[in-house]
Chain A
Amino acid sequence: MKKDKNISGFKTPENYFENFEKQLFSKIEEVNLPKSAGFKVPTGYFESLEEKVLLNAIPSEKSRKVISLFSNRKLGYVAAIAACLVLCFMLFKPNHSISEDFNSLQMATIENYINDGNLNLDIYDVTTIFNDEDISAVNFENLKFSDGALKNYLMENIDEETLLNEEQ
């Protein structure tokens, strides 16, 4: 093939021409996929949605204010003191089996409780309740996460492909 006479000064990313066909054919395959998913919605669904959402959002907000534990700081302090007293009573009772039971119950029951979806808190709720100081005060080193549990969690929850892509 005859070489270009003049040199423009432009250059291409490394391996651009080597990978060009691959990228082009992947694009062509994508073009052949259906353009729409095929879903439809019940007639009038979007027209009545505002009312439905407002009906659910606003009462839940108002009722939360009335019964919210977090709205009354004093109640929080009283509850914390009461919880400490109960805990101290259980820990310093001569019969140690109670505190052991409490510890084993704590991990298993709390885990099941959360796994069953009973604790209806997510990251947004947590960030609303806790401020930065509260979070930085948590001592993660003393939390009981075994290496095995952590490994299992990562194996089950990490999307390896995204991670590998990120590492590139």
Chain B
Amino acid sequence: MVEEQELVTALQNEEAKEAAFRELVSQYKERLYWQIRNMVLNHDDTDDVLQNTFIKIFKNIDSFKGESKLHTWMYRIAANESITFLNKKAKRNNISIENLKDSAVRKLETDVYFEGDELQLQFQKAIATLPPRQQLIFNMKYFQDHTFEELSKILDTSVGGLKSSYHIAVKKITEFIKTQDETL
């Protein structure tokens, strides 16, 4: 695997840019895909957001000053792109972000690219009740195993703030699942 600093140097060099970008996509495509997928839920939307994320990285790599790590910067772009995408989609369909998420989760029941069981579906419904930023924090910590320190750099928030957001999210999710179980 090519070292990150080498990759940045190559990406900022016109002649080496294309090959370096190909390497970058190959190294990060899956990690960024799953980060986005956990936010937007369906595969086709994830594919759109993932491509836009890489295009944005490609277009802006010359202005990347190296003040943060390249992967931190990329995760941040993917996070922003996901939330922007959801906001735009809600606006386009003239519905609130809550309604958009609710309908996206309901569609999972018939989604051929969702193979979760009943509990996993309830889990997704519970995650969808969180505000977008709390949802992002929960997904990135729970499914992607980022440390709070890494998340603090990616999302530009204090470790303490992230920890309490995460614990509030876990509490809301477990309470939602319990309530659903009781009503069944």
B and A form one assembly: yes
Query: Given the complex, which residues of B lie within 8 Å of A33, measured CB to CB?
Result: 123, 142, 170, 173-174, 177
Question: SS class of chain B's interface: helix, strand, loop or mixed?
Answer: helix
Q: A54-B21, A54-B22, A116-B91 are in contact. Are A127 and B63 (CB under 8 A)?
A: yes
Per-position 1/0 for A9-45, Cβ under 8 A of B:
0000000000000000010011011101111111001
Q: A41-B113, A54-B21, A128-B63 are in contact. Are A61 and B161 (CB under 8 A)?
A: no
Query: Given the complex, which residues of A lie within 8 Å of B165, measured CB to CB?
Result: 161-162, 165
* Interface members, chain A 30-82 (any B CB < 8 Å): 30, 32-34, 36-42, 45-46, 49-50, 52-54, 56-58, 60-61, 64
Interface-located stretch among A93-101, A117-125, A145-153 = A117-125
Q: Roughly how many angstroms separate A55 CA and B2 CA in the complex, as a whole number?
A: 23
Query: Given the complex, which residues of B lie within 8 Å of A116, measured CB to CB?
Result: 91
Does B125 touch A at the CB level, under 8 Å? no
Q: A37-B38, A42-B113, A61-B58 are in contact. Are A50 and B25 (CB under 8 A)?
A: yes
CB distance from A162 to the nearest CB of B (A): 6
Size range of the chain B interface in the assembly: 35 or more
- A41 & B43 in contact (Cβ 8 Å cutoff): yes
Closest A residue, CB atoms, query B162: A165
Per-position 1/0 for B131-167, Cβ under 8 A of A:
1111000000011000000000000011011001101
- A54 & B18 in contact (Cβ 8 Å cutoff): yes
A selection of 20 A-B contacts at a CB cut-off of 8 Å is A26-B170, A34-B117, A36-B116, A36-B120, A37-B37, A37-B38, A37-B124, A38-B114, A38-B115, A39-B43, A41-B43, A49-B50, A53-B55, A54-B22, A58-B18, A122-B56, A123-B80, A125-B59, A162-B133, A165-B164
- 18 additional A-B residue pairs with CB within 8 Å, beyond A30-B170, A41-B113, A54-B25: A29-B170, A30-B174, A36-B116, A37-B143, A39-B43, A41-B43, A49-B29, A50-B22, A50-B29, A53-B54, A57-B59, A60-B55, A124-B56, A125-B60, A127-B63, A128-B63, A162-B133, A166-B161
